[in-house]
């Protein structure tokens, strides 16, 4: 398992892992650029289960694109059954200004939801100049940002519960 983050534990205490079995995590994934987002999703799920989260406590919702992550994250943040939400998307720059406005609105809106929510909303939306960068960040040379998002989710759940 590769990861690109820092300060990520290589080995977890069995007691810590067993304490995570009751955590419930919602993962909202964009189907746009699914050759990238599904790799991020796989990295997140593999990491969460390796770190003690039960498969039945990982709830996956697919939305058409990154903009739709906003609505679903807002909806899920109001449900009381989740300990964390991970949003996964991939926006790749094209020829128009669409990239700039989409990146700005998605990041701003998810941040706003995070500020109002009582649970952490973890941002795993790649915003890359080209497909090559996205491939490198979803299991390529740079690692898998889905793995980073999973570790961040666990850390934030534990901070939120302390």
The per-residue pLDDT for range 70-111, each reduced to its tens digit, is 999 999 999 989 999 999 999 999 888 889 999 999 999 999
Question: Does 15 reside within a domain?
Answer: no
For 83, the domain range is: 29-161
pLDDT in tens, 19-75: 788 999 999 999 999 999 999 999 999 999 999 999 999 999 999 999 999 999 999
Per-residue pLDDT band at 3 (split at 50, 70, 90): very low
**pTM assigned to the model:** 0.91
- Cα gap 79→96, rounded to integer Å: 37
Question: Does 5 reside within a domain?
Answer: no
Per-residue pLDDT band at 10 (split at 50, 70, 90): low
Question: Does 8 reside within a domain?
Answer: no
Q: What is the pLDDT of residue 12?
A: 64
Judge whether residue 9 has pLDDT over 70: no
Q: Which of 50, 98, 100, 116 is catalytic?
A: 98
Per-residue pLDDT band at 6 (split at 50, 70, 90): very low
CATH classification of the domain holding 133: 3.40.50.960
Please say if 98 is a catalytic residue.
Answer: yes
Domain count, the chain: 1
């Amino acid at each position: 398992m590769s990861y690109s983050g820092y300060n990520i534990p290589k080995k977890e205490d069995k007691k810590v892992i067993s304490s995570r079995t009751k955590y419930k995590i919602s993962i909202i994934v964009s189907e746009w650029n699914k050759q990238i987002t599904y790799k991020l999703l796989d990295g997140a799920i593999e990491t969460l289960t390796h770190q003690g989260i039960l498969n039945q406590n990982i709830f996956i919702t697919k939305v058409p694109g990154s903009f739709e992550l906003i609505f679903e994250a807002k909806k899920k943040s109001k449900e009381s059954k989740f300990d964390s939400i991970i949003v996964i998307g991939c926006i790749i720059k094209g020829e128009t200004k669409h990239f700039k406005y989409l990146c700005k609105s998605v990041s701003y809106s998810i941040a706003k939801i995070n500020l109002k929510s009582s649970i952490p909303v973890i941002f795993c939306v790649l915003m890359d100049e080209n497909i090559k960068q996205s491939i490198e960040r979803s299991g390529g040379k740079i690692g898998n940002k889905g793995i980073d998002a999973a570790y961040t989710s666990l850390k934030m759940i534990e901070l939120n519960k302390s």
